[in-house]
Structure 1
Amino acid sequence: MIFDMGALPPQDRYKIMTATIVPRPIAWITTLSRNGVVNAAPFSFFNMMGNDPPTVAIGIMPKAGLLKDTAANILETGEFVVNLVAEADASAMNLTCIDAPPEVDELALAELEGAASRFVAPPRIRTARVAFECQALTSLVTGPLQTIVIGRVLCAHVEDRFVLDAERCHIDTVALELVARMHGGGAYLRSSDLFHLERPS
């Protein structure tokens, strides 16, 4: 079957794309408003885009016809932290999905503790096993307030117990127990079911 995306309403396009572009890693983004309010929210329209410079991209959809707090804060300050989500943090992450007003600190709401970042003002989430401090390189408005943010990773925090060999930058990926987003309806995926293929030469 062919779905003509131009002829479909936005919600149906969303259903088709989110049901087939899976699994999607989750960027649990922390930002800081100009007024000093911490915002935390998860986004599954996210991935690594390159390593020289180290680059990530996040797609942020609007909320009720307005920029989401995350997008507004990044566009104002140019700084954000991408925290990756382990299964142990899944419930807290889900709580930060709430449509809260801009003055609400979602970390406090979810009873999470922030940790000071080294290069940017927004805090990391202390329980996140991996966090990337980022500076916005550019942003692109692709639709009515639908925004893609490209960020440069300034530094990566990886909890010591998951670093197998610091000199060789080897990380115990499976032990991180990161979760990914699947289709709609609150479906998530564990990262423990693996198979390997040798890359041909």
Structure 2
Amino acid sequence: MKFNPENMETKSVYKLLTGAVVPRPIAWVSTISEEGVLNLSPFSFFTVASRQPPMLAISIGPGVGEREGTVKDTLENIKSGQEFVINVVPSALGNQMQKTSENLPPDVNEFSAAGLTPIDSDLVLPKRIKEAPIQMECKVDRIIELGTDHMIIGEMIMYHIEEDYYLGNEKVDFEKLQPLGRFAGNYSESKDFFTLPRKAEDPHT
């Protein structure tokens, strides 16, 4: 089978892409509006963009559902403030993350709505999620319009990690972190780790 995106609706192409580009890490992005309202939203179009200087990239699409045709609050806040924080989502915070993905009004503090604790960042104005074991403070390097979406590339200027999740030698304890990933409309837990090449007795072979 093959599909030509020129002959398909955007939603159909999106479903094919998100079913194939997996698992996708989730950037739990915290921002602040010009009025000082705290915003929090997850995005699974997320990756490392540069090693030096360290940069991260997230892609933000237009509003959906009852907010179709609007610009998402996260994008508005990043454009105005030029700063954001990417928090890593452990499996234990899945329900709270899902709550922040809802279409809440712009004047709602989404930390409060999800029962999360905002804490000050070191170098940027947006708050970090206290309950998230890893948080990365970012300043906007550039915003690129790509079709219907906006690619935001931010320089990571401060990295926070809880001591219990740090193994030393710049290594993260993934088994303890159990970060959530995205598979199309579902989620995955990162629990099972192995190296390649596999040995013949490896149960994964």
TM-score normalised over the length of structure 1: 0.93
108, 112, 116: which one pairs with 1:108? 112
User: Secondary structure, in 3 states, of the residue corresponding to 2:5?
Assistant: coil
Q: Structure 2 stretches of 5 or more lacking a match?
A: 198-205
Query: Counterparts of 1:149-164 in structure 2 under 5 Å?
Result: 149-164=152-167
Aligned pairs, number: 193
Aligned twin of 1:37: 37
Query: Counterparts of 1:29-178 in structure 2 under 5 Å?
Result: 29-63=29-63, 64-144=68-148, 146-165=149-168, 168-178=169-179
User: Secondary structure, in 3 states, of the residue corresponding to 1:188?
Assistant: strand
1:44 Cα offset (Å): 0.3
Q: Distance in 2 between matches of 1:6 and 1:47?
A: 26
Runs of 4+ in 1 over 4 A off after TM superposition: none
1:197 Cα offset (Å): 1.0
User: Secondary structure, in 3 states, of the residue corresponding to 2:126?
Assistant: coil
Question: Alpha-carbon deviations, 1:28-85, whole Å to 9, x = none?
Answer: 0000011100000000000111210101100101001111000010011100000010
1:195 Cα offset (Å): 2.2
Question: Alpha-carbon deviations, 1:144-173, whole Å to 9, x = none?
Answer: 4x11100100011111111121xx222212
Question: Alpha-carbon deviations, 1:158-196, whole Å to 9, x = none?
Answer: 11111121xx22221221111101112xx1111012221
Q: Distance in 1 between matches of 2:21 and 2:108?
A: 32
User: Secondary structure, in 3 states, of the residue corresponding to 1:6?
Assistant: helix
Q: Distance in 1 between matches of 2:134 and 2:152?
A: 20
Matched letter for residue 92 of structure 1: Q
Q: Structure 1 stretches of 5 or more lacking a match?
A: none
Task: Choose between structure 1 and 2: higher helix proportion.
Answer: 2
Matched letter for residue 54 of structure 1: P
Q: Distance in 2 between matches of 1:182 and 1:105?
A: 28
Q: Among all aligned residue pairs of Structure 1 and Structure 2, give the percentage whose two residues are the same amino acid.
A: 37
TM-score normalised over the length of structure 2: 0.92
